Structure 1
Amino acid sequence: MTEGRSDPASSARHFYDDLAADYHLIFADWDASMARQAAALDPLLRRQLGAGPHRVLDCSCGIGTQVIGLARAGHRVVGSDLSPVAAARASAEAAARGVELAVAAADMRRLPFATGAFDVAVCADNSLPHLLSARDVTAALRAMRRVLRDGGLLVLTVRDYDEILAAMPPAPPPQIAETPEGRVITLQLWHWHEDGERYDLEHLQLMPAGDTWTVRTRRTTYWALTRDRLTRFVTEAGFTDVDWHTPDATGFYQPVLTARRASR
């Protein structure tokens, strides 16, 4: 797909390039969230594949929220992201915490890694639904399958769109982070398309500026992929043993899909 306003990847890259410096402000405590997410994902990897450590690719690593925690848990990790600004920050944040992390700027539909190079491919934090067509979702899943070894593990996390589509809310709850300058408030407004599946996300961050506020606004688009639809895409891309894990079962804040690259 060529770059341009019609390419969802172009929109997502611009969104995350612009957000990268402020992304940690989505969390009340980013380091604590990294630790919690690793504490949920690491046992899942080890239950599925054995004690490890494992070779892990996080193909939507952002500024490092999942991949830094997995590296701290002992895995051999690589991070890639569509946003070169976010990937560069992930590298810097890892280094600041004494973590070795190789990163690359890469579109998940065209991953620049050797076939069979990884034991685990992670695509977390609702990243896959930035792709707005079946063709693009399938291309990304096939790219993830290609870089996995036989029997390797796919790990996807997405919003609970089965529940969301039942209500089609205009916004999720706000998020608040404490900073030395004061509280930062992150708001999202969801503008649903006529198809009832896709929505434009308006991302607002209210930054304290003395007695007033500075508002930073970013926009991107998502496809609300239900569990049945995503399961079908994963299966059609050549994975087997598809399973869904609820937040109650894993401790991760989103539903988690796992699947295996079938052995030849």
Structure 2
Amino acid sequence: MSTDTAGFYDDLAEHYHLIFEDWGRSIQRQAATLGPLLENKLAGGPLKILDCACGIGTQALGMAQRGHSVIATDLSKAAVRRAASEARKLGLEITFHVADMRNLSALPTSDFDAVLVGDNSLPHLLSDQDLSQALENISARLKPGGALLATIRDYDSLLATRPSFQGPTFYSENETRRIVHQVWDWDGNEYEVHLYLTWKSASLWASKHYASRYRALTRAELTQALESTGFAEIEWLMPETTTFYQPIVLAHKDHSTVEST
């Protein structure tokens, strides 16, 4: 993860919701899938959840609406400000911090029941060292037996085809029209995403371009990294069984894991 990643999300924060057909409904749909997965794995009352890549709040807001105690972090200051504003609008009590998932030591609390890393955030970590550092920090925030839930793109399939284009997707609501598309420039097992948002309000058109870099992280690579940092009971749930838009990985912190972060 580089400073460019923070800049990408700083720039995108104001318009991030435009990627979705209806961001509010997406919050509800994601919570309706991810919430029960954690609730069924971690029996008991409301969970203490850390969303360590919260963005503008897509997962954090939905989990809080389900009655869980949520603390949310992101490396983008602008995204955190936007997420905090959205939480206030909904009357939700969520504590927000600016933090890189590779260093969560500044958080005033730990012993989380679950850590959530949604929306393909882990593949921003371009090196094995960065990925391990993030997973070690996540493990240090979890109570023994706690769960990590992450969602990433299906890179096992994408590496076979290496698509250069995604979309365009057209949305229309009242007098507003939107076009969302992406261009992917591949470089080995990494790729740079160029995200384009174009929208019309009344008679005016506006267009924005954002760029960031990802690693095509396979399920085997992430599984190995999880095992190497003390996670166990690793389970992959695919879209055909969950109806979620990305593969989901669930892993538990081994009770015998020794804290080193």
TM-score scaled to structure 1, two decimals?
0.92
- Tell me the equivalent position of 1:173: 167
1:221 paired to 2:206: no
Tell me if the contact between 2:177 and 2:201 (Cα under 8 Å) persists in the aligned partners: no
Identity %: 42
> Within 5 Å, which residues of 2 pair with 1:122-161?
122-161=116-155
> Within 5 Å, which residues of 2 pair with 1:90-239?
90-111=83-104, 112-113=106-107, 116-179=110-173, 182-193=176-187, 195=188, 197-208=189-200, 213-239=205-231
Residues 243 and 32 from structure 1, CA distance in 2 versus in 1: closer, same or farther, beyond 3 angstroms? same
2:55 and 2:127 mapped to 1: Cα distance? Answer: 22
Q: Secondary structure at the match of 1:173?
A: strand
Could you tell me which amino acid in structure 2 is paired with residue 248 of structure 1?
Answer: E
Moved more, 228-237 or 200-209: 200-209
- Cα deviation, residue 251, structure 1: 3.0
Could you tell me which amino acid in structure 2 is paired with residue 159 of structure 1?
Answer: R
1:39 paired to 2:4: no
User: Runs of 5+ in structure 2 lacking a partner?
Assistant: 257-261
Tell me if the contact between 1:115 and 1:149 (Cα under 8 Å) persists in the aligned partners: no
2:13 and 2:111 mapped to 1: Cα distance? Answer: 28
Given the alignment, which residue of 241, 244, 258 partners 1:252?
244
- Cα deviation, residue 252, structure 1: 1.9
Residues 141 and 115 from structure 1, CA distance in 2 versus in 1: closer, same or farther, beyond 3 angstroms? farther
- Cα deviation, residue 186, structure 1: 1.3
Tell me if the contact between 1:26 and 1:176 (Cα under 8 Å) persists in the aligned partners: no
Q: Secondary structure at the match of 1:252?
A: coil
- Cα deviation, residue 12, structure 1: 0.7
Could you tell me which amino acid in structure 2 is paired with residue 28 of structure 1?
Answer: E
Residues 209 and 45 from structure 1, CA distance in 2 versus in 1: closer, same or farther, beyond 3 angstroms? closer
What do you get for the CA RMSD once the two structures are aligned? 1.5
Residues 114 and 242 from structure 1, CA distance in 2 versus in 1: closer, same or farther, beyond 3 angstroms? farther
1:22 paired to 2:15: yes
Q: Secondary structure at the match of 2:14?
A: helix
- Tell me the equivalent position of 1:5: none
Query: What count of residue pairs does the alignment treat as equivalent?
Result: 255
Q: Secondary structure at the match of 2:166?
A: coil
Tell me if the contact between 1:42 and 1:73 (Cα under 8 Å) persists in the aligned partners: yes
1:261 paired to 2:253: yes
- Tell me the equivalent position of 2:259: none
Residues 115 and 142 from structure 1, CA distance in 2 versus in 1: closer, same or farther, beyond 3 angstroms? farther
1:252 and 1:87 mapped to 2: Cα distance? Answer: 25
- Cα deviation, residue 103, structure 1: 0.5
- Cα deviation, residue 114, structure 1: 5.1
Tell me if the contact between 1:182 and 1:208 (Cα under 8 Å) persists in the aligned partners: yes
1:20 and 1:73 mapped to 2: Cα distance? Answer: 24
- Cα deviation, residue 9, structure 1: 2.5
Moved more, 25-34 or 115-124: 115-124
- Cα deviation, residue 213, structure 1: 3.2
1:54 and 1:25 mapped to 2: Cα distance? Answer: 30
Tell me if the contact between 1:185 and 1:207 (Cα under 8 Å) persists in the aligned partners: yes
Deviations, residues 241-263 of structure 1 (Å, cap 9, x unaligned):
11101123223211000101111
